[in-house]
Amino acid sequence: MWPMPTVPRPRSFRPAAWRSERKTRLPWIPDVDRSTAIVDCAVYRDGEREPDCGGWEQAHDDVLRRGTGFVWIGLHEPSERQFAGIATRFGLHPLAVEDAVQAHQRPKLEQYDDMLFAVVKTVHYDDTQPHGATEVVETGEVMIFLGADYVITVRHGEHSGLRAMRKRLESDAELLKLGPSVVLHAILDRAVDEYLAVTAALQEDIDEVETSVFAGANRGADSNRMYILKREVLALRRSAGPLSAPLRMLADRPFRLVAEDIREYFRDVDDHLSEVVEQVASFDDLLNTLVSANLAQVSVGQNEDMRKISAWVAIAAVPTMVAGVYGMNFDHMPELHWRFGYPLVLGVVLLFCVGLYRSFKRNGWL
């Protein structure tokens, strides 16, 4: 293990330019050579990116030969065969390699003899579905292998690109001088920033649904939208919730591979993650309340419809009853042969119908 250089502590790991990216478009993802799945590879020494030094093996050889700096290898959805050479060269643990290749892991942090292995869930709020009918929270994963002289990142998902983040780090030599652990911090900080962006988008959608529910708009559409939002909130909870334990470990426990100057900044990331977790919990409670309110409104609406139907049935029952009586074809019936009998019956029926209508109207049944 080579000693890590000591440099003055930077004032902040979260400059304003970093936060502004939350609302920007997704970074461009370059074409990947599918024979290797390597997106980018570089050697960083004294906070600067070294000129092109060939392939990843030559880059690692250069770090070993000179005894300074570290190599950062980025891969996108590698197969087991594509990842085998890198895993053998760096002595990566087989269980961590299996997780990195297969993906679909929970956020976690595992420590091996000379390596840290972290899994981070990335999220992206997609509101570009056909006709704007649905919004979904797309998830991806980033696996980080952290060693004394290397960082290996394995991405799964098209929206989880690290190209823009790498460029930002390369523009800040003071950060990169702290060693490989600064890459781990940057990835975790970026993931939590994405969580905050998604919670802001979900907040807007939930506010719209809340307004629609209490405005008595389309009840069926509101129910569908609330189901979609609850599914999105669940996806965000599964991504953000389990990350709290790894961040607390990085903030509270000393790790040989994590620079001491960076530890306290993991606590800052954990604070932002706690905000996300609290918001997600409040979203879930609010959506449950909205579902109950929507169901109550549906029930009230159905009762109102039944009262209107019952009122019209009662009004229609009067002429139906009278017509049924006079349709029995008896010779001796009241006013049957009287000249004014027919108009009298119609008048009485109309009088009863108008009386019932006014009574139901006054009581709110019509």
Residues 148-160 pLDDT 10s: 999 999 999 877 7
- 3-class secondary structure for the chain? CCCCCCCCCCCCCCCHHHHHHHHCCCCCCCCCCCCCCEEEEEEEECCEECCCCCCHHHHHHHHHHHCCCEEEEEEECCCHHHHHHHHHHHCCCHHHHHHHHHCCCCCEEEEECCEEEEEEEEEEEECCCHHHCCCEEEEEEEEEEECCCEEEEEEECCCCCCHHHHHHHHCCHHHHCCCCHHHHHHHHHHHHHHHHHHHHHHHHHHHHHHHHHHCCCCHHHHHHHHHHHHHHHHHHHHHHHHHHHHHHHHHHCCCCCCCHHHHHHHHHHHHHHHHHHHHHHHHHHHHHHHHHHHHHHHHHHHHHHHHHHHHHHHHHHHHHHHHHHHCCCCCCCCCCCCCCHHHHHHHHHHHHHHHHHHHHHHCCCC
CA 209 to chain CA mean position, Å: 17
pLDDT of residue 128: 67
pLDDT of residue 264: 84
pLDDT exceeding 70 applies to what percent of the chain?
82
Mean pLDDT of the chain: 80
Mean pLDDT throughout 318-328? 75
User: Sheet harboring 108-112: ordered strands across?
Assistant: 48-49, 38-45, 70-76, 150-156, 136-146, 115-126, 108-112
pLDDT of residue 188: 94
The two beta strands, 108-112 and 115-126, are antiparallel
The two beta strands, 70-76 and 150-156, are parallel
Q: Is the predicted pLDDT of residue 245 greater than 80, yes or no?
A: yes
Q: Is the predicted pLDDT of residue 16 greater than 60, yes or no?
A: no
Q: Is the predicted pLDDT of residue 45 greater than 80, yes or no?
A: yes
Q: Give the integer Cα–Cα distance in Å for 149 and 2.
A: 8
Q: Is the predicted pLDDT of residue 327 greater than 90, yes or no?
A: no
The two beta strands, 115-126 and 70-76, are unpaired
Mean pLDDT throughout 233-255? 90
Q: 97-110 burial by CB neighbour count: b if 16+ within 10 A, else e?
A: bebbbebebebebe
Residue in this structure with the two tokens 């620079």, named with its chain if needed: 259
* CA-to-CA separations, 91 to 40, 54, 57, 95, 159, in angstroms, rounded: 20, 21, 13, 12, 29
Provide the token pair at 116: 């840290």
Mean pLDDT throughout 238-262? 89
Q: How confident is the model at residue 357 (pLDDT cuts 50, 70, 90)?
A: confident
Residues whose CB is less than 8 angstroms from the CB of residue 213 and which lie 6 or more positions away in sequence, other chains included: 222, 290, 293, 294, 297
pLDDT of residue 191: 93
pLDDT of residue 4: 38
Mean pLDDT throughout 44-63? 85
Residues whose CB is less than 8 angstroms from the CB of residue 316 and which lie 6 or more positions away in sequence, other chains included: none
Choice between 84 and 222, residue whose per-residue pLDDT is larger = 84
Q: Give the integer Cα–Cα distance in Å for 188 and 18.
A: 13
